[in-house]
Structure 1
Amino acid sequence: NGNKYYDEVNMVQTTRGCPFNCDFCSVSDFYGRTYRTRPIPDVIREIKELSNRTMIFFVDDNIAGRPAYAKKLFKALIPLNIKWFGQGSVMIARDRELLELAARSGCLGLFMGFESLSSSNLRQVGKATNNVRNYSTVIKKIHGSGIGIVGAFIFGLDSDDDGVFEETVRFIENNQLELASFAILTPLPGTRLLKSMQEQGRIIELDWAKYTLGEVVFRPKLLTVDQLQDGYNWTRKHMSSYSSIFRRTLHFRKTALLSLPLNLLMRKSSRKFLKNTRASRRA
């Protein structure tokens, strides 16, 4: 039962903002590039006051954006004996102590943006923190610490062609990422990406209700609008198949109790999305 699962998750925030400044992201535009940290004693007090500490989701955009703070936070969490999930970047794998402390503090999984398997795409959107050649090593280090991964990927970047969908699926399954999240490149309000696409005359949809991360609202460079939408739909359908889910989750017993139900929830969400997409195309 999806509602029951979410009822057991408490949300806590320890930091606000992100130290990075990717072109497609609205976080830095909304908060500025300032990365604010909350006093750790306040965080610990809030967690202790929770009536249910079965699972905690730290809603920070990048919980380890300031490593020195994150290490102090993780050390303070260890005595609480909690289990938690959060969002971070691939850079966490560069600091062994930080990664080990995250695991010891109860981290079961991290949502992180790989975004693309193309170096030129990463340069295009200002994702300087990512190095495609190191992706597999990063994954092995994080998995080796006992932490699962939700990998986030964007389709529709300027170097993406019609092979990007199968390539991404192969990468995810070969590296056994427990979960994966996909988005169609979307020029959100306030982002440099929107300004750039407006200047290039590539925006084809002005209805903000369509800016869902699952619909094409711009003209891609190497794909047609239909190719991008169909490829995105195919990827979500494939990754939500039972065969793909079990192939990626059952190898890692420590996080299977988290990743398996989350995959099943994502399967339900994908099936609903695809059904609505087919209905809207027929309309």
Structure 2
Amino acid sequence: MAKVFITGGDSFTGTHLRGALHQQGYETFCSTNSGTTGSEWYDCDITDRSQITRVVADVQPDYIIHLAGISFAAHPNPAEIYNANLFGTENLLHAAANASPGVRKILLASSANVYGVTETEVQDEALCPAPVNHYAGSKLAMEHMAATWFERLPIILTRPFNYTGRGQTETFLIPKIVAHFARRAPTIELGNIDVSRDFSDVRDVCASYIGLMESGASSTVANICSGQLTSLQDIIEHCRDLAGHTIDVTVNPDFVRKNEIKKLCGSNARLQALAGPLEFRPIRETLDWMLSSQRT
């Protein structure tokens, strides 16, 4: 059984990814710093090079999927963001090169946030990144640092766009909307709903990770996205239809971002070329899956 080491294995994405890998016959080992215990779990701080090196040396993974880091863009301490997202990743690559030189593929989770605010409606990997906050800046810095390892390690950088599914917290927009409909709340406060975005199902994101992991590609970057636009108004209408409940939407000016781009969509042409063919579920199917887990 091939072994996959997942950093941040108990995260929203990591939880779904572990299940998808098990279904395909992989053995998983995971890092955590939240106290999760079990035979596949290692309590490990990726910002401590000696800790991550010991874990990688013990696991001797065939594949590594790196999800751990700080993903909250409004995190108040920029130094902690860069320490986790940039230097934590460097520690992992150093550990792989020196303690597990036989690793077949390393996937590093960057973010579509590196593209920044752009008028380009369809964003592909050729678009020049222009991050506008420390989270996105840390991810772009990580990408540049990782590229210096391309000659030593088989690395793919991934830039996921928006995705959702069961288990995602209500601090994210779609789970917030779903939860309000599930509990039949009379009203919901949102920001600008006259926008459209590229939303994916977490299960399809996991399939994309596995496809890239199994591909022959390396030393490249790939968007992970559906390539389809969905408006927030459509999401609300889908939820109304699926839940059989009407909710009044109030626009809170505090939630409205300045100079918000109306339409942002990713191109998944490179993803499909490297790891395809991959199918992405309609967002209505994802919403039904999420609502069904909360129906009483």
TM-score, normalised relative to structure 2: 0.36
Structure of greater relative contact order (alpha carbons < 8 Å, 6+ residues apart): 2
Kindly indicate which of the two structures has a greater share of residues assigned to helix.
Answer: 1
Kindly indicate which of the two structures has a greater share of residues assigned to strand.
Answer: 2
TM-score, normalised relative to structure 1: 0.38
